[in-house]
Amino acid sequence: MREHHERPDGTGYPAGLTEMSELAHALRVTDVFTAKISPRAFRAAMSIQAAAKQLFQDERGGPMAAGLIKALGLYPPGDLVELKSGEVAVVIRRGPSATTPKVATLTNRHGKAMVETHVRDTADPQFAVVGPYAERQGLTRVLPERVYGYIFA
């Protein structure tokens, strides 16, 4: 579907259209968002939160951008977050709102790797998300089965 490269202001390609189908628009929004959060040879990946904000602004709060953000949340599965408790956790699923995902702890409040994973509800104020966690270097690898609830060490 070549139409997904078109833009409402006519600056897209290949035909410079000002109108596109709803399906093409949905594909364009998804394509742009995915490109922003993916690293390129000439730039680092944009944070999910920054990409969502930029997409929402570019789309002027339109339903496609709002729908994508609502579906993924601001902290989608796999994203690392820091909690108010001081713990670092990985998002395992969307919560009741875009800003309150369900998470599995990776470290305790002192930054030490945890032997046992705890599922936290970030809608609870003591476990609220403070923000994304960028310091991935010091984290110990954790079995996916443990994080996603299949087994707990």
pLDDT tens, position by position, 3-28: 666 677 767 667 777 778 888 888 88
Going by pLDDT thresholds of 50, 70 and 90, the confidence category of residue 101 is very high
The tens digit of pLDDT for each residue in 13-66 reads 677 777 788 888 888 889 889 999 898 999 888 888 899 999 999 888 889 899
80-83/129-132 β-pairing: antiparallel
Q: How far apart are CA 148 and CA 152, in angstroms?
A: 9
Name every residue whose Cβ is closer than 8 Å to that of residue 71 and which is 6 or more positions away in sequence.
94
Enumerate the β-bridge partners of residue 104: 90, 119
Q: Is the pLDDT of residue 79 over 70?
A: yes
pTM: 0.71
Going by pLDDT thresholds of 50, 70 and 90, the confidence category of residue 98 is confident
Name every residue whose Cβ is closer than 8 Å to that of residue 73 and which is 6 or more positions away in sequence.
91, 94, 95, 97, 98, 99, 101
